[in-house]
Chains A and B, each alone.
Chain A
Amino acid sequence: MATYLEFIQQNEERDGVRFSWNVWPSSRLEATRMVVPLACLLTPLKERLDLPPVQYEPVLCSRPTCKAVLNPLCQVDYRAKLWACNFCFQRNQFPPAYAGISEVNQPAELMPQFSTIEYIVQRGPQTPLIFLYVVDTCLEEEDLQALKESLQMSLSLLPPDALVGLITFGRMVQVHELSCEGISKSYVFRGTKDLAAKQIQDMLGLSRPAVPMQQGRPLQTPEQPVISSRFLQPVHKIDMNLTDLLGELQRDPWPVTQGKRPLRSTGVALSIAVGLLEGTFPNTGARIMLFTGGPPTQGPGMVVGDELKTPIRSWHDIEKDNARFMKKATKHYETLANRSAANGHCIDIYACALDQTGLLEMKCCANLTGGHMVMGDSFNTSLFKQTFQRVFSKGYNGEFRMAFGANLDVKTSRELKIAGAIGPCISLNAKGPCVSENELGIGGTSQWKICSLDPSTTLAIYFEVVNQHNAPIPQGGRGAVQFVTQYQHSSTQRRIRVTTIARNWADAQTQLQHIEAAFDQEAAAVLMARLGVYRAESEEGPDVLRWLDRQLIRLCQKFGQYNKDDPNSFRLSESFSLYPQFIFHLRRSPFLQVFNNSPDESSYYRHHFARQDLTQSLIMIQPILYAYSFHGPPEPVLLDSSSILPDRILLMDTFFQIVIYLGETIAQWQKAGYQDMPEYENFKHLLQAPLDDAQEILQTRFPMPRYIHTEHGGSQARFLLSKVNPSQTHNNLYAWGQESGAPILTDDVSLQVFMDHLKKLAVSSAS
């Protein structure tokens, strides 16, 4: 199987694609019996150091319903200068530019190693990137100061020709005009009133007069930028002005009486931001960056009233249908998100507050537009500061790690249809022959829009095998999928990345072992998890868990080897061996469990889960635990309570948190100050090692994880204890008092118990 692992890895590196199954069952019926759907995780902009973009337009299949891009899988008749589309079998003439084509003189897109290729196309006007800051001023002085500094700093990180704009809000919403000299000017809106895009544009003076100008006058292209530039100016021009303006920002001056929350008009502010961009720069790459320090408390999109005595909704309230504002607010933000997404603008949410800020209601803004969601305790923390800075980080080639307005088009060969996608995208409602009627995730389309993406943005795309059982595919037949991603590069170029992959078909009845061997359990776990999380957004938690359990049992029944009703005989092949464990941790994860999480936190976790690539997703599902001790080099250990030993330092990475946990003995040593004694320098090094490793993770992770340094018995140790498999609890006596780990005070089942039940159910003849 090593070969399959390599194959999978190779494919991932080259194409950014991981399929749940790398050999495909050749009939619909068989496919459904596989339990885990045929699906893939696609990272459209996976960084490819070795992929120089080509400077020409892709060649498209001429069939209007197909328009697939010429790729290495196509059959080419070099003499006739014809190529056959491998999706629709249309024969196409090469364009004139390809006249010199021959077996030895092939364009890149025909070479097998270019199964992924990127084209740079010259199309349409290049518009600079746009960054619109939407800043909450109802912050504590310190927070505001920190935020202002971060924003000022960010100006230096932006591309110099990028346009920036500033909207501030509190009780009112102010849209700052950046172009004027002298007097600083802003347009102010009441925070309680929702305005249609048209109204906003009228009020901002952005709508052009009905009869703008005589036809006779030369087309005034300059006119347009002039109008919009009042609010959006190139960074290099207004750098100083804006820095001053930010510097002068004051806390919202309206008095907040005791017992009240400040009035915060987040809903209107966002609405105006969306309306502003919608009117001025539709269909161009733009980021609306919302910085908020608390929940919206008035106007459309309010999440909680301003009375402090009414707390913000909790899961409990939501279950009891007791969250007054939630539905309305959610609807408001959804509308905004959809509008924004339709125009290719993304919305980032940077929410820093100790209490909830309404991410639950606002999540769709980030989710549907591909924007970032960052949650922190304060703007005055490195978590926020560094995360924010990392938004503008640059990739290996000095380019921003962000792209805009992507349009993902998926094409499949006939035996496959597209069931849907899950990720930071919206449907473009492109119906076509390859769209399945069954939807998984966002379905009913073969195209999605991803307003903003970075090299790690990953979508789960689900397929359905539609080949009928009685129409077998010839031996050696391959199914193909082409992903065409058009996007605006951070350099403002339009680019198209095309990835074409093919997999073998196999008859599940006769070649099940091939299919089984080609199972990618990691991808499968993540893909199933995405489905589960996607369902959890709309269904009750227990239902989702039940569904997940059911799927797991069915999978085990299908692929396990066992004797009926004999749990002990149950075995899973290596390619499935880790899968149940992933599902076990997934069930306990905050993506599906809301207990102990606020609705905001759940939204936050789910947001990130739905867009990270496979590796990060797996970390989220099953955190990584490393152990450091004098017994040997650092090693990964089981995420299990038995790994918590007194003489170990543990480093846990849950993606959202990095926890360094000093075992009891280690902690005592540290308190005793051994690390400061020259003779115990090795101890010092031991202490330092996990810190260095953590630092490494912190360097690259986006968003910055919460960094927790704790020790045995420390209050923060709960982060670790809640994650590990509770193999020892106060309930299981056999472990009690042993030196093999730390008991966890929980009633949750442990992995062992879970597996026992799983085996029992899998082998049961009753089901």
Chain B
Amino acid sequence: MSVNQQAHTGPPYGQPQPGYQGYQQPAYGGQSLPGVPQSQYGAYNGPMPGYQQPVPPQGSLRAPPTSGAPPPASGASHPSGHLAYSPFEHGDVQNGIPASAAPMQRPPASQPFLPGSAPTPVSQISTFQQYGPPPASVQQLRNHMAGMTIGSTAASAPPPAGLGYGVGPSSYPPTTGAPRPPAMPGPPLTGQTVAGPPSSQPNHVSSPPPPSSMAGLHPGTPMSGLHGPPPPTHPPQPGYQMQQNGSFGQMRGPQPNYGGAYPGAPNYGSPPGPPPPPKRLDPDSIPSPIQVIEDDRNNRGSEPFVTGVRGQVPPLVTTNFLVKDQGNASPRYIRCTSYNIPCTSDMAKQSQVPLAAVIKPLATLPPEETLPYLVDHGESGPVRCNRCKAYMCPFMQFIEGGRRFQCCFCSCVTEVPPHYFQHLDHTGKRVDFYDRPELSLGSYEFLATVDYCKNNKFPSPPAFIFMIDVSYNAVKSGLVRLICEELKSLLDYLPREGNMEESAIRVGFVTYNKVLHFYNVKSSLAQPQMMVVSDVADMFVPLLDGFLVNVNESRTVIASLLDQIPEMFADTRETETVFAPVIQAGLEALKAAECAGKLFIFHTSLPIAEAPGKLKNRDDRKLINTDKEKTLFQPQTSFYNNLAKDCVAQGCCVDLFLFPNQYLDVATLGVVPYQTGGSIYKYAYFQLETDQYRFLNDLRRDVQKEVGFDAVMRVRTSTGIRATDFFGAFYMSNTTDVEMAGLDCDKTITVEFKHDDKLSEDSGALLQCALLYTSCAGQRRLRIHNLSLNCCTQLADLYRNCETDTLINYLAKYAYRGVLNSPVKTVRDALINQCAQILACYRKNCASPSSAGQLILPECMKLLPVYLNCVLKSDVLQPGPEVTTDDRAYIRQLVTSMDVAETNVFFYPRLLPLTKADVDSDSLPAAIRNSEERLSKGDIYLLENGLNVFVWVGVSVQQGLIQNLFGVSSFSQISNALSTLPVLENPFSKKVRSIVDMIQGQRSRYMKLIIVKQEDKLEMLFKHFLVEDKSLSGGASYVDFLCHMHKEIRQLLS
């Protein structure tokens, strides 16, 4: 969508430009018509006239409203095409509406949209106009939503001064791009005609500039507007959704118009000064993640995603869909930032769109989908290309009657080994095509031969070693007892391969404080034996036989041990701990046992005891926002890097559970877990009552989840591109192989590609990700994922096949790595700059010509600004005062191995109005946008971001609901110390709990449940996650940021 703004340009966000108001005009719907607040408009209006020009038609359709119009102006404005979009409008309106409006109104339901409504409330005003309706529509048709435009507009135009407008404020532009709205769905857009605009870009939203405006205007109008409106107009319309999308964008249609109108633009710049009261860009008119997600869900959730076609963009990660593997890897395994790759590096550079794949090689599949088949090629091992060593895959071309095959990656011709020979049918396909997974599927596994094993020996089954901190804090908090109790039952659930009777994994136990205690739990012993190693300076494993045992054989000894550990240390007074020696001990144990494995370390404090890897407290918040800030993310010593390297070499993966009561230097402690492919879990101020459930759930999941060891991953690509950079939790000893001591089903690796030659449109680009690993039963396997992508010579194709969520995943990881080496500010600026370039490139090359003031976003990337803003505001890049150094380091590492779904919800949390939940169905209530404005005092909301779940209770929630949910009679009695919701027998409670459970089930970690009462202290914390709002730490609100982006883009374009 593009937002058209006019002038805004100049003015940076903040400034409110008076002009803005002007904007309204057009509002689409015209609805606004009514008298609404003209005032605001007023200004605008003036200008409007100019705008309008063209379009008239539809835009106005209904709404003409545009508020602007109100009085006089408005009228005028409408016409303009501008789509109105008036920004302001708060409300809900989305521009999109307009379209709808036009048609039918859109259903209110969802959003605010209201536009249509406009009428009502006055407030809205203006706004939307659709400008561009016309054109837009067209497009829409074509692409669905492709882009939107927000016409911001107006403002500028405005008479008054163009200036005014220019100035920041005005611009709001909200989005609106109405045009397209109609698009698909239902509403045909009537009005719109084609505008012809180029297909490529779809919508533009013209965005009015200055965000700031919000403040000003809104107030009045705000929300209410929204609500109100709906009524009439929109009935629920199907189309709606679409619209939304469309909404923003004003279509391009406008543009044309704009142009004319625009003239004003210039003004922009000037006015900076903008004193004027800001007006605000209507939040409803700017691209809404919620809407996008809903649309995708509705459009693509119903049919299976069949992977047979090259370069198909999969549904969003938020959509539930089934995948049918017909030759390409499921998006659950690989997602790309773009499914259409520029043929040349020049193009790629020009667009600045990063080419990256987010790979989750061992991803868990829903039960309805089949796991990759295991292929055994016997002693000779998998069939591979002679030159590039790519594995046999569906894209290999058999020639000469099947006697040879040509590599799809490097084109080298290789003899088919005799045992693998098969005749070809008349289409050139092997006759056994459907019998062989490696010829017909995108993902499959090979059984590795001994050549693929370390030291040419088949691996032994891996081992799990539990290493428990038994220092004073751990004992006192009850943690030690808790862990021991849990392990007793948990050990029966070690990962098993397929249908094996019992797990092949052996287990070992270590406890430690300043010294380490190993336990001999050999089955022949009557009692476990404890072996204390106090020589932590030079760690070694004191026993061989009896340390790693089979759970079933040593069951009684283990049980006895776990019973005794809490007793033995019950009156310990040791407060100091070591850390590096603990890892070394595990490493040595695995070395001695000659197997790979995983260490589960439960640790409570900064390791200050005299030992290698001893750390000092170097937490210094004063470093924030200085050039030295990066040191907070760097390990204090290189010791752990070396240790990690050794661990990787042995296949020793480290999972770290932290229970800090104070700073413990996650940045340093996390090095080994991070580089070995392990996970870190952190439970600050761990308290048995509130946190045990969460911890135990995490532990259970962590122990049980599918995991591979001693893994090496290599990504091969078609000639022309090359994997150049890797992000995630792993270690690389060379530039191509990603090594992970352990890799579980949640770990994700983001790989960036660069051109080193040209690609051809005909053959497209192929990726083959090969993961060599040892399964939990000790079987050496190769998992292969193949993915074919299209290549394009037109930038528009690139933009049309992008995946914003994936892009954000990449950008976040890229930025999070950047903070290790550059000041955070630099990283942030680079991020903004790159996105601005991406969007500017689109605007320049793909969007139909339109006024410079119009913000035009590609349909596939219309959420880029909002998501990017979330990344920029995240704790790592812009910490609030309550965020500790450890938290930042923790999150930094966490995000680095997240997959797309996790980053998506992490950066843009899911906010569900619980009170709207339908008690009788098992669906979730529709999500709403993350802004305080959307919360109503009378409702209860749930917000989750993958780490935390908040239940926010408004002050005036009905008592009945409170009673039903919390079992207390009044708001004031709700305890925010609750870590779970009370189990109450009533439909509402059940529903809410089932929602919470469902959400917990979707995340790889058990989220901490926090009850937040409105106007309570904790609310601050909660508000931090309302990412569309301005954050306390200085993060911009969505609207402000959008304006800023627009400004950046315009600068790039000019």
Contact = CB atoms under 8 A, between A and B. Distances in A.
Interface string B453-482: 000000000000000000000000000000
A204 interface: yes
B242 to A, nearest CB: 68
B538 interface: yes
A193 B561 CA distance: 30
Given A189-B535, A190-B535, A184 B544 contact: no
Contacts of B542: 172, 174, 188
* Residue in A183, A204, A253 with the greatest tally of chain B CB atoms within 10 Å: A183
A182 B527 CA distance: 7
A184 B531 CA distance: 8
Given A174-B542, A253-B545, A187 B534 contact: yes
B529 A172 contact: no
A195 interface: yes
Given A182-B527, A183-B528, A253-B545, A190 B538 contact: yes
A187 B533 contact: yes
A203 B560 CA distance: 26
B525 to A, nearest CB: 8
A713 interface: no
Contacts of A202: 534
Contact of A186 (B530, B544, B560): B530
A480 to B, nearest CB: 54
Interface in B881-925: none
Contacts of B530: 183-186
Given A188-B531, A193-B535, A183 B564 contact: yes
A416 to B, nearest CB: 52
A195 B544 CA distance: 23
A202 B542 CA distance: 18
Interface in A166-188: 172, 174, 177, 180, 182-188
B500 interface: no
A253 B531 contact: no
Given A174-B542, A253-B544, A253-B545, A183 B531 contact: no
A205 interface: yes
A187 B532 CA distance: 4
A254 interface: yes
Contacts of B534: 187, 189, 202-205
A323 B72 CA distance: 111
A242 B542 CA distance: 21
Contacts of B568: 180, 183
Given A182-B564, A193-B538, A203-B515, A188 B529 contact: no
A123 B515 CA distance: 39
Given A172-B540, A253-B544, A253-B545, A186 B535 contact: no
A188 B532 CA distance: 5
Interface string A117-131: 000000000000000
Contacts of B544: 253-255
A254 B543 CA distance: 8
Interface of A is mostly: mixed
B534 to A, nearest CB: 3
Contacts of A203: 515, 534-535
Contacts of B532: 177, 185-188
Interface residues of B, number: 24
B529 A183 contact: yes
A186 B527 CA distance: 13
Interface string B526-567: 011111111100101011111000000000000011001000
A186 B531 CA distance: 5
Interface residues of A, number: 25
* Residue in A174, A182, A188, A255 with the greatest tally of chain B CB atoms within 10 Å: A188
Contacts of A184: 527, 529-530
Interface string A238-258: 000000000010100111000
A205 B533 CA distance: 11
A193 B534 CA distance: 13
Contacts of B531: 174, 185-188
Contacts of A180: 568
B467 to A, nearest CB: 16
Interface string A148-176: 00000000000000000000000010100
Contacts of A189: 533-535
B538 A183 contact: no
A205 B573 CA distance: 12
Interface in B504-522: 515, 517-518
Contacts of A205: 515, 534
A202 B536 CA distance: 11
A187 B518 CA distance: 10
A184 B564 CA distance: 11
A195 B535 CA distance: 9
B533 A188 contact: yes
A238 to B, nearest CB: 15
Nearest to B515: A203
Contacts of A204: 534
Contacts of B545: 250, 253
Interface string B52-86: 00000000000000000000000000000000000
Nearest to A254: B544
A253 B525 CA distance: 15
B540 A190 contact: yes
Nearest to B543: A253
Given A188-B531, A190-B538, A183 B561 contact: yes
A644 B357 CA distance: 97
Nearest to A199: B535
Contacts of A182: 527, 560, 564
Interface in A191-213: 193, 195, 199, 202-205
Contacts of B546: 253
B538 to A, nearest CB: 6
Contacts of B529: 183-186
B545 to A, nearest CB: 4
A248 B542 CA distance: 17
Nearest to A193: B538
A182 B924 CA distance: 54
B707 to A, nearest CB: 29
A172 B538 CA distance: 13
A696 to B, nearest CB: 46
A250 B543 CA distance: 11
Contacts of A250: 545
A205 B544 CA distance: 24
B811 to A, nearest CB: 48
B458 to A, nearest CB: 19
Nearest to A173: B542
Contacts of B535: 189-190, 193, 195, 199, 203
* Residue in B527, B532, B545 with the greatest tally of chain A CB atoms within 10 Å: B532
A364 B88 CA distance: 97
A340 B532 CA distance: 25
A203 B540 CA distance: 14
A187 B536 CA distance: 12
Contacts of A187: 531-534
Contacts of A195: 535
A607 B396 CA distance: 82
A186 B515 CA distance: 12
A188 B538 contact: no
A289 to B, nearest CB: 22
A10 to B, nearest CB: 58
B518 A188 contact: yes
Interface in B907-957: none
19 contacts: A174-B542, A183-B528, A183-B530, A183-B568, A184-B529, A185-B529, A186-B531, A187-B533, A188-B533, A190-B535, A190-B540, A193-B535, A193-B538, A203-B515, A203-B534, A204-B534, A205-B515, A253-B546, A255-B544
Which 9 residue pairs of A and B lie closest in terms of their CB atoms, listed nearest first?
A203-B534, A188-B542, A253-B545, A185-B530, A187-B532, A188-B531, A190-B540, A184-B529, A253-B544
Given A189-B534, A203-B535, A248-B525, 5 more contacts: A183-B530, A183-B568, A185-B530, A188-B532, A189-B533
